[in-house]
Amino acid sequence: MLRIEDELKNNQISRFQLLYGEERYMVQYYRNQLIEKLSNPDDEMNRTFFRDKPEPSQIAEAAQILPFFAENRLIVVEDSGYFKSSSDMADYVESFPETTYIIFVEREIDKRNRLFKWINKNGCVTECTRQPEHMLKRWIAGYMKKAGKSISTKGAERLIERVGTDMEMLSNELEKCIGYVGESKLIDVPEVDAICSGVTVSKMFDMIDAVALGEKNRAMKLYEDLYTNKESPMSILFMFSRHINILLQVKECKNRGLRSGEIAKKCGVPPFTIPKYEKQAALFKRSKLLAMLQTRLELEEQFKSGKLSDQLAVELFLIEALNGE
């Protein structure tokens, strides 16, 4: 059991929390659980939210305010960047009053970072990693049970095969399945096949193959098919970059001489997909995969700043990916 699970269960929550990791569904789940435990949804006076690299002094100022007719004050800080580079935040947290609780929600961290080390020693650090297939099956079964439904083992396996291991995307498809079956209680392979026609792992393999072979028309046609199926451009870009990350991990694991089962566990993908990933990884140089990830970051930043539409950002990404080695 993760420490955060124990803290939530026993209502003994550390004042300093850090949530991070690749599995954003679990990051958001624990974020929401902590907020629910530590504050009243109607009490806006004792809750403060910060996003996108706030000044440490702003957070410190909010932290020093004593709670108003409440036991504690809650501060939630998201995407601060404090855990990737040095900041003054590590100097401030030591002087926060006992009534202040703070939750940091980050995407990337550096474990050598001073603030990370301090919270790891004085608070609770939770890394949310991709879940292995057997854990996902258990989670899917529990998700369906809460909805008053059940799913066959084959149905769960087909869902993972089609959608991948991202829990946010899996939950979206599960909701579609629940709505599709209506009063029926069981979801099996036919129901999954009928519903899960969005951004599937198989389609991503096809797109990456087209990029590797320089087949521009085919790659763009596959993207258009996904877009026509009402998949958001940013969702497609996310799946594309996730796939590239897996290829990089597979390359690294192969170079280290790991076996297929070990590679699947490290990459967080079903074991039966490893031969496909290995074959595809061999089509790319490591430098090309890294270059595509860098392009994705640059285009995503331009989209967030309003310089590009989401659709244009993805199209430019594909064009860039199809150029060069």
**What CATH number labels 196-321?**
1.20.272.10
| Domain 131-193 coded CATH 3.30.420.40 | no
Are domains 131-193 and 196-321 of this chain identical in fold? no
**Prediction pTM value:** 0.65
Least confident of 21-25, 206-210, 233-237: 233-237
Q: What is the mean pLDDT of residues 105-126?
A: 94
* Amino acid (one-letter) located at 285: K
What are the sequence ranges of the domains in the chain? 1-125, 131-193, 196-321
Q: What is the mean pLDDT of residues 145-166?
A: 90
- Residue 100 pairs in a beta bridge with 73
Count how many residues are written for the chain. 325
Least confident of 189-198, 206-215, 288-297: 189-198
Q: List pLDDT tens digits, range 298-309.
A: 988 888 888 889
Q: Cβ distance 124 to 16 under 8 Å?
A: yes
Looking at 3.40.50.170, 3.40.50.300, 2.130.10.10, 3.20.20.100, the CATH number of the domain 1-125 comes to 3.40.50.300
Q: List pLDDT tens digits, range 18-29.
A: 999 989 899 999
Least confident of 62-71, 79-88, 188-197: 188-197
Provide the Cα torsion 21, 56, 13, 44; round to 10°.
-110
Number of H helices, E strands in the chain: 16, 7
